[in-house]
Amino acid sequence: MKHTIKKLLLAAAIIATPLSAKVNEDVAVPYVAFPIKMGKGFDTVQAQCLMCHSFGYMINQGKQSREFWKKKVEKMIVHFKADLISKEDQKIIVDYFFEQYGNGKLK
Ligand code: HEC
């Protein structure tokens, strides 16, 4: 019985250690799991797409079709009222995502 509790405490300590280690670090910037790919149109994405959520939120979708990215941009505009984005910028943004995070398929 005693042995089990010791084991549990040990397990808890192991789990808790990395967390407290992170908190004690000076650097406040969170670890970015997804490196941003620079490319044509990135400045537009940065200007239009980052006011509501982070970049990781967009690209954790993985590599997708052109249609997928187009639909996502439309979703942002229709559902989340990101409607200040001009038609021109929308195309630039879709092109950027398809080029950098596309799967090569149009549909
Ligand atoms: C006005 C705020 C706003 C702007 C601007 C915005 N988004 Fe979003 N976006 C959201 C919200 C809110 C969610 C979360 C939806 C959810 O959790 O279901 C989201 C989620 C996403 C997702 C995750 C998948 C999904 O369907 O929810 C992707 C991809 C995405 N946005 C792409 C973009 C791109 C690309 C742009 C630039 C064209 C953009 N967003 C601009 C509000 C915005």
43-62: pLDDT as tens digits = 999 999 998 998 888 988 99
> How many A from CA of 75 to the centre of ligand 1?
7
> How many A from CA of 53 to the centre of ligand 1?
7
Residue 102 in contact with residue 69, Cβ under 8 Å?
yes
Ligand 1, atom nearest to 89 Cα: 38
pLDDT confidence of residue 33: 59
Using left for φ > 0, alpha for ψ between -120 and 50, and beta otherwise, residue 69 falls in alpha
Percentage of residues in the chain with pLDDT exceeding 70? 67
- The angle at the Cα of 17, spanning 4 to 12, to the nearest 5 degrees, equals 20
Between 89 and 5, the more confident residue is 89
Each residue of 60-93: pLDDT tens digit?
899 999 999 999 999 999 999 887 889 999 999 9
